[in-house]
Structure 1
C-alpha cells in the first residue's frame, strides 16, 4: 500500500525571486523545489527545458503551455488568485513602500494596506471557507519569511501603547530606547503600529546616524502627532523623514489587519503583517528571545505582559526570557500588573528574569542585567 506521506514532495530550495530562479534553473533542475510568487511568464523556455518533477509553484504566473508542462512533470501548481489586494503566497516580508504604494498620489485609502483591511472586513465574518484559506495561507507564508529574516538575530521586543503621540516626551524616550537597543547589537521588534511602537522602530532606524538626527526627526514628525484624523498626513510625515535620512538601521514590526484601523508605521524595514491577531501576538513574543521591554500601555500591552508570562511561568520555551516593565506608578497603581507578575514568579526560574524600572532610560541596563 502507498504510504500517504510519500505523496508530499520532499522540500528542496525555496525560491523567492527571479534571480534565485535563474540561478537554480541554470543547473537544469527544479525538482522538489518550492517557488513562491515569482513571475515566470518570461521563463517558459527554461521551464520546458528543466526537470520540474515534484516542484511546487505557489502563486507563480506562467504561460498556459508552461503550466501544463510542469503539471505533466508531476509538479504542484497553485495559481495566483485574481482580484486580491494581497498575495497569499508571498515569499518575503512587506516593506513600508510595498504597504504604502500609491500613498502620495491617492492617499492612504488607495494603498495596498488599506485595501487589504477593507477585504478583511468584508470577509472575516461571512463564513467563506475560501477567504479563510487565503488568510491562513498568507499568514503561514509571512511566518516562514519572518523566521528567515530573524535567523541568528538577538531579538528584543518593545511593547507599548498606540496612543503615545509624536512630539511627546514619552515618544522621544521610546525612540531613544530603540536606538540604544539597536546600537547594542539587538534587533528591535514591535507590534508595528503607531505610538510607542513606531517610536522604537524610529529609534532603530536612527541608530546609524549621529545623535542629533533623532531629535530632529521627532521634531518633524510632531507636525502630524497622530494617525487620526488623517492617516495620509501621518504616513507622509514618516516617509519625509525616511527620505531626508536614507540608509537607516533595520528593525522588525509585526502588525495585524485585525486592528487595521491602526496603520503600520513606516520605520521598520521588515514588516510581518498578519490577518490573525493571535498568531501575530504569540509570534512576536516567541521570537523576542533576548527579552521584552513593556512601556506603559493599556489593555493590549497588559495582554502582552501575561501572554509572555505564561511560557516563562511554565518553562515551555526553555530558559525564561527577560521582562522589563517601565513605569513604577503605571504598573503598580494605574494598571497593577507588577504585583501579580511578581507573585506568579516567586520561587520559579523566571523570578530572576523580571524587573520594574521607573524610566525608559533605565530599561537597557535592566535588560542586560537580567540576561546575564
Structure 2
C-alpha cells in the first residue's frame, strides 16, 4: 500500500516550514541567507535571528519579536508579518487536517475554523476588499505549494462524483469500496473533498488497512446522519466517531473550496487542500490526478469536471492523456448523455484508447489499469 510522503521530505531545499527545520538549518549551516521561512513561530528564536546571517531571506507570516524583525530587515531580509484577526493563515506551509478545520466542533460547526473562514470569505467578497482578495490569493498559492510537496512522487487517482449521494445507500457503500480498492492497489485517492461520493471515496481509502466488516460497520454508523443537511454538526460528529473507533486509517487527499462553503469538507481525507478560488481548486485536482480519474454519477459539477479533464487530454497540453473512467452506463448515456460526446471528441486522437465506460463501480480499478497500459503501449 502506498504511503503519502512526509511533509518535510519534498519541499524546495531553501524552504523552512517547521521550527525543527529552522533549528536544524541554523545549527548545520549557520546561515539563513536566501532561505524562505514559511509560517513558523520564531518568537522564541530571537537570539538565533540576531546572530545569524539573513541576507536575501524571506519570512512569510513568521511571528517574531520586534527587535528580531528590525534586525533581519536591516540585514536584507523581506518580512511579511502575520495577519491578525484572520480565521486562517494565508502563509501556511502544509495542507489542512480534518482536526484542524473541525476544531471546536463540540461547540457546533458554526464555531469551527472551517465555518469561520467561510463567513470571512462571504463578508470580504461582498465588500470587494482588494486586501482580502490578495490574502485569499496568497493563501491559495500556499496551499498549492503544500499540495505539490505532498503529492510529489505519488500515483494519484481522482474520484469525482456528486455531493448528493447519501450515506446509508448502496451507492455510497459502492463508492467507498472503490476508494478502498484504489488505495489497496497503491494509488493515492484524491477527491473534491466534500460530502456524498467524495466522502465515500475518502472513507474507502481511509478503510484500506481494515477488513470488509469494518467498512460495512462504518457505513452503517454514518447512515445515522445521512446528509450534512440539516445539521453539519451531527454529520461531522459521526465521521469523527468512525475515526475514533478505527484510528489507523490510510491517507488520502480532499481538495474542497469555500466557494461552495455551504458544503463542509469531509473528515476522512487525511490531507485537505482547501481553496477560496474554485477554478484554481478544480483545475488543480484534475491536473494532479496523474494516474487517471474515475467519474461516478453526478450532476452539473461532475459534468463540468469530465470536460475540464477531457480538454487537456484532447490537446495533450499536460503531456500524454491520462485515463478517464465513467461509471454507470445508464447515467452517462441516457440521464446525462456525456459519454457519446466524449467518444466523439476522442475519436482518432491519442486520448481515444484512454477513455472507458463501465456499468459498475467494481469494474473501475481494472479499467484504470487497462487504460494505463494503453497509455504506455
Q: TM-score range by the shorter chain?
A: over 0.9
Where do 1:54-73 residues align within 5 Å? 54-73=56-75
Kindly indicate whether the alpha-carbon contact (under 8 Å) linking 1:257 and 1:274 is maintained by their aligned counterparts in 2.
Answer: yes
Matched residue, 2:98:
96
Match of 1:29 among 28, 31, 44: 31
Task: Determine helix, strand or coil for the equivalent of 2:199.
Answer: helix
How many angstroms does 1:49 deviate by?
Answer: 1.3
Task: Determine helix, strand or coil for the equivalent of 1:355.
Answer: strand
Distance in 2 (alpha carbons) for counterparts of 1:209 and 1:20: 34
Matched residue, 1:270:
271
Task: Determine helix, strand or coil for the equivalent of 2:126.
Answer: coil
Kindly indicate whether the alpha-carbon contact (under 8 Å) linking 1:12 and 1:32 is maintained by their aligned counterparts in 2.
Answer: no
Task: Determine helix, strand or coil for the equivalent of 1:349.
Answer: coil
How many angstroms does 1:209 deviate by?
Answer: 1.2
Residue 371 (str. 1) matches residue 369 (str. 2): no
Distance in 2 (alpha carbons) for counterparts of 1:310 and 1:17: 39
Matched residue, 1:6:
none
Distance in 1 (alpha carbons) for counterparts of 2:318 and 2:125: 31
Kindly indicate whether the alpha-carbon contact (under 8 Å) linking 1:167 and 1:225 is maintained by their aligned counterparts in 2.
Answer: yes
Distance in 1 (alpha carbons) for counterparts of 2:190 and 2:133: 27
Matched residue, 1:45:
47
How many angstroms does 1:125 deviate by?
Answer: 3.5
Matched residue, 2:249:
248
Distance in 2 (alpha carbons) for counterparts of 1:87 and 1:253: 19
How many angstroms does 1:123 deviate by?
Answer: 1.0
Matched residue, 2:214:
213
Distance in 2 (alpha carbons) for counterparts of 1:12 and 1:305: 36
Kindly indicate whether the alpha-carbon contact (under 8 Å) linking 1:88 and 1:137 is maintained by their aligned counterparts in 2.
Answer: yes
Matched residue, 2:349:
348
Kindly indicate whether the alpha-carbon contact (under 8 Å) linking 1:178 and 1:188 is maintained by their aligned counterparts in 2.
Answer: yes
Residue 135 (str. 1) matches residue 149 (str. 2): no
Kindly indicate whether the alpha-carbon contact (under 8 Å) linking 1:57 and 1:78 is maintained by their aligned counterparts in 2.
Answer: yes
Q: List, as ranges, runs of 4+ consecutive aligned residues in structure 1 with deviation greater than 2 Å.
A: none
How many angstroms does 1:247 deviate by?
Answer: 1.4
Moved more, 171-180 or 204-213: 204-213
Distance in 2 (alpha carbons) for counterparts of 1:29 and 1:171: 53
Distance in 2 (alpha carbons) for counterparts of 1:243 and 1:34: 37
How many angstroms does 1:284 deviate by?
Answer: 0.2
> Measured at CA, do residues 55 and 299 of structure 1 come closer, stay the same or move farther in structure 2, by a change above 3 Å?
same
Task: Determine helix, strand or coil for the equivalent of 1:156.
Answer: strand
Matched residue, 1:13:
14
How many angstroms does 1:127 deviate by?
Answer: 2.1
Task: Determine helix, strand or coil for the equivalent of 1:220.
Answer: helix
Task: Determine helix, strand or coil for the equivalent of 2:190.
Answer: strand
Residue 191 (str. 1) matches residue 185 (str. 2): no
Where do 1:50-199 residues align within 5 Å? 50-104=52-106, 106-199=107-200
Kindly indicate whether the alpha-carbon contact (under 8 Å) linking 1:28 and 1:50 is maintained by their aligned counterparts in 2.
Answer: yes
Where do 1:322-337 residues align within 5 Å? 322-337=323-338
Matched residue, 1:7:
none
Kindly indicate whether the alpha-carbon contact (under 8 Å) linking 1:158 and 1:190 is maintained by their aligned counterparts in 2.
Answer: yes
Distance in 2 (alpha carbons) for counterparts of 1:318 and 1:35: 33
How many angstroms does 1:43 deviate by?
Answer: 0.5
How many angstroms does 1:12 deviate by?
Answer: 5.5
How many angstroms does 1:212 deviate by?
Answer: 1.1
How many angstroms does 1:132 deviate by?
Answer: 0.6
How many angstroms does 1:120 deviate by?
Answer: 0.5
Kindly indicate whether the alpha-carbon contact (under 8 Å) linking 1:12 and 1:34 is maintained by their aligned counterparts in 2.
Answer: no
Q: What number of residue pairs does the alignment pair up?
A: 361
- Gap regions ≥5 residues in structure 1: 1-10
